Structure 1
Amino acid sequence: MDNLTTDIVAKLWNLCNVLKDDGVTYHQYVTELTYLLFLKMAKETGTEEQIPDGYRWDNLINKPKLERLEAYKITLIHLETHGAQIVREIFSNASSSIKKPATLSKLVEGIDKLAWYNAEREDLGNIYEGLLEKNASEKKSGAGQYFTARSLIDSLVTVMKPTLDDIIQDPAAGTGGFLIAANQYIRQHSQPEHWNDKQQDKYRRNTFYGMEHVHDTHRLALMNLFLHGIDYNPAAGGIHYGDTLSPDGQKLPPATLILSNPPFGSKKGGGVPERTDLPYPTSNKQFCFLQHIYLRLKPGGRAAVVLPDNALFEGNVGKQIRADLMEKCNLHTILRLPTGIFYAQGVKTCVIFFTRGQTDQGNTNEIWVYDLRANMPQYGKRTHLTREHFSEFEAAFGNDPWGGPEALAQRQDQGVTNRFRCFSRKWISQNNDNLDISWLKDESEELPEPGVLARDLIDELEGALAELRGIMEELGEEVEA
């Protein structure tokens, strides 16, 4: 972020202190701020025609202080059913957590005083995304699970090279980071001012698709896309409200590029998804999302997916899904990520890169593993993960986002003392299709905190219990809840 963006983000976040005495939580604050910023930024971007007259920013700021809160609450109710589609979606089921008129006035006047006139439209989007990142970094907000580090997103987008010809999907969209980064990459690597009408229509209506099932997070995602210039159309592109692991997910169109960081853990209640098209139903959410992703890729489509490490080695249904993935797709690269870059310390994650085959058999011949975890710093608030940390990986990955045979032949196995190595499909098969492959001795690795170990054990036990329940149900045995 540049200095202007950083300054405005800091000032917006400091306004949170105004709300603390009114009992407003971090997450409520960001949601509350979204309503107000939409009104303010619609004015700044010249798009106020989407909002009915009488319910715009100037109408609110010109109200007497004691009348503002009541007028604001009426505005929230009115905009749920009036205005453009994006307005109705952002203000769907909107309500205010603010109780005191003076609190709202301080917030409104604080926003109005900021130097918005210096910011371009893209800067406004970056300001809002900076606010989401700030919220995600606060443990008390609980928002970290909906936010992926921008440095990681930008690196994945760079190696996957989205184009205007792509149909791009994120089935676990969160606040929209992957789609926004893909949009920026496309615009930076083409000439949007020279797109013809057909290309413009393709860009607006048939390029970006996502789904998010948490209502407030969906609201934040729509605001994020709006500020980055991505249209929302309920009959076409944009991030839709729904559960990808329900029949809603089958409405997402087949894609040529999927970029995603699905939620970790087991489905609440231990049940399997409502969808009937997943060949290996399981309560494990990341395995269900992974199946959705490789099944919704068009032949020749490519994907980069962030997963917890247990998806690489878990047995039973996990092994079946990995084997199915390697049959249907060319799983050509695994990136072992550093620890500490997600909301829960100690969570180990990776990125898998694969391309859907033209047929559904024998597509994976070799897998390249890049270890960016061993002998790396513990990232967090003190040590930030930056784009530079991915530069050597990007160079080793190469320029072919599909991982084709010619590109893989140009890669160099760096040997047992370095970070990039190649493993044959035969070798992987002999190792029980376990993809949790490491070879470097990690001199920096410390024993995880007891809480991390306990959580990992609970996840393993819950997964095992879910599998046992499934076996008993198949045998016709009654299973106690």
Structure 2
Amino acid sequence: MTRTHDIVQKLWNLCNDLRDDGVTYHQYVTELTYLLFLKMAKETVQEDQIPPENRWDALKARSAPERLDHYRRTLLDLGKANASLVQQIYADASSFIKKPATLSKLVTDIDGLDWYAVDKESLGDLYEGLLQRNAGEKKSGAGQYFTPRPLIDSVVAVMQPKSTDVIQDPAAGTGGFLIAADHYVKAHEDVYDWPEEQQKKYFETTFYGMELVQDTHRLALMNLMLHGLANDPERSGIFQGDTLSDEHEKMPKATLILSNPPFGTKKGGGEPTRQDLTYRTSNKQFSFLQHIYRSLKPGGRAAVILPDNVLFESGVGKQIRADLMEKCNLHTILRLPTGIFYAQGVKTNVLFLTRGQTDTGNTQEVWVYDLRANMPQFGKRTPLTREHFAEFERAFGDDPTGSAAALAKRTDMGEEGRFRKFTREQVRERGDSLDISWLKDDSALSGDLPEPTQLAEEALGELSGAMEELRAILLELGATPEELEAVGAED
């Protein structure tokens, strides 16, 4: 792991070579993906999908002055390649590099790294380490799609993926949840001891996802490929597309969904183009939530990260929560600490649910674990670690479905504790609001105030929630489109 970390650091330091070319952090990671794919295909002896004239050695053999032109032609050629994986990684690819000397230094430095110090299984960890560095840089804006690894690992641990699951992430980002699920399965089952046909079935029919943004999709494909999960992206893996359109049909019904959907409203304020969602709304979180519980097979389970407004908004939000609790057993909510995502002001939760065998009366009680009150301000000085979730994992128990028998073993810690039970009737009395807190947050009184930008972001988040509630009330009162636009419905 130390050698892998060293190579990640050296790759990240190469970004300095691109600053004079005006290349951003995110562009750098994309550019590096184009080059690393060629280099790693050579290192892992998987160049058969790449024409000889487009391979790493062909690029390296060019003289420095002509290398940039050759590289640009290579990107165009691979974007039209017959091999599906290659074509999707290089689809519409173009280089941000303007100076031949810059590319030559990148090629020379990448070629000079000690690749033999990293075994094949660690190449995926190396690349994911690079993505994590990119997400940690606020200038890159990449934190919006990179869920913190400690949170992913904790969620995956309590959901206990199995090789027999069909696992889906409808907002896949760079594939973190799917890769963590694969790691968990391999740690608990002897995947590589299975017959070849069983291994093939596992790698090709277990993991599915969808990502809207093309650049993020290519990063996800590279990530999955290095973890052995993107052998045939036409049949499995992460598709590029819009889950809130009919493209969602590319993903089969799932027995396990793990996801961190995007926050905000659909671009242009429009509703999803797919017609199968019962409750129409431009709010992406509510639309993704409907997709998730509709896409579960009976008995299937899900863990989804959602902002606070999903727990309390009235109007269509209340209807969706009620529908969710009818169709699913919403057995656990984890209130997450603030400041663990790029958007510091966004307060988030993890909802754990299991689709019922029938569509009525599935939620009998909801357990809320408050990991937000009296927690440190997480950031570079206080990094989030897996240990911060240890008590939650113990309290959650060993049943990922939240069955009645498992919930009966849980302990309500009372008003002074972090874990409490609320019956369905108590939730109903609250107007089906799931925004439940009870602990006095002493950290808010300690004088250790957040940064002004964080306070501003939190204020904007609260204002956005209030605006959504106002729109819902206006809709219920029969407001016209013009009246809705007057309160910012098209923002």
User: Taking structure 2 as the reference length, what is the TM-score of the superposition?
Assistant: 0.94
Which AA in structure 2 matches 1:51?
I
Matched, 1:455 2:460: yes
Matched residue SS, 1:290: helix
| Offset of residue 374 of structure 1 | 1.0
Which AA in structure 2 matches 1:124?
L
1:60-459 → structure 2 map (5 Å cutoff): 60-445=59-444, 449=452, 450-459=455-464
Which AA in structure 1 matches 2:395?
A
Which AA in structure 1 matches 2:22?
G
Task: List runs of 5+ in structure 2 lacking aligned partners.
Answer: none
Which AA in structure 1 matches 2:98?
K
Which AA in structure 2 matches 1:206?
T
* Whole-angstrom CA distance in 2 between matches of 1:363 and 1:103: 60
| Contact map agreement 1:270 1:466 (CA 8 A) in 2 | no
Which AA in structure 2 matches 1:181?
A
| Contact map agreement 1:170 1:259 (CA 8 A) in 2 | yes
Matched residue SS, 1:306: strand
* Whole-angstrom CA distance in 1 between matches of 2:66 and 2:203: 40
What's the Cα RMSD here? 1.8
* Whole-angstrom CA distance in 2 between matches of 1:132 and 1:374: 30
| Offset of residue 26 of structure 1 | 1.1
Counterpart residue number, 1:54: 53
* Whole-angstrom CA distance in 2 between matches of 1:312 and 1:469: 20
| Offset of residue 477 of structure 1 | 8.0
Which AA in structure 1 matches 2:18?
L
* Whole-angstrom CA distance in 2 between matches of 1:223 and 1:469: 46
| Offset of residue 373 of structure 1 | 1.1
| Contact map agreement 2:314 2:472 (CA 8 A) in 1 | no
* Whole-angstrom CA distance in 1 between matches of 2:481 and 2:388: 52
CA offset digits 1:287-321 (Å, max 9, x no partner): 10000000000000000000111111111111111
Which AA in structure 2 matches 1:463?
E
* Whole-angstrom CA distance in 2 between matches of 1:195 and 1:474: 61
* Whole-angstrom CA distance in 2 between matches of 1:476 and 1:339: 35
Distance change (3 Å), C-alpha of 1:133 and 1:477: closer
* Whole-angstrom CA distance in 2 between matches of 1:420 and 1:216: 40
Matched residue SS, 1:54: helix
| Offset of residue 218 of structure 1 | 0.2
CA offset digits 1:187-218 (Å, max 9, x no partner): 11111133234422321221000000000000
* Whole-angstrom CA distance in 2 between matches of 1:14 and 1:360: 54
Counterpart residue number, 1:23: 22
* Whole-angstrom CA distance in 2 between matches of 1:168 and 1:39: 29
Distance change (3 Å), C-alpha of 1:466 and 1:241: farther
* Whole-angstrom CA distance in 2 between matches of 1:75 and 1:59: 10
| Offset of residue 250 of structure 1 | 3.0
Matched residue SS, 1:391: helix
| Offset of residue 183 of structure 1 | 0.8
Matched residue SS, 2:178: helix
* Whole-angstrom CA distance in 2 between matches of 1:57 and 1:245: 38
Matched residue SS, 1:49: helix
Distance change (3 Å), C-alpha of 1:30 and 1:472: farther
| Offset of residue 347 of structure 1 | 1.6
Paired positions, count: 480
| Offset of residue 8 of structure 1 | 1.1
* Whole-angstrom CA distance in 2 between matches of 1:233 and 1:97: 28
* Whole-angstrom CA distance in 1 between matches of 2:245 and 2:470: 22
* Whole-angstrom CA distance in 2 between matches of 1:437 and 1:478: 32
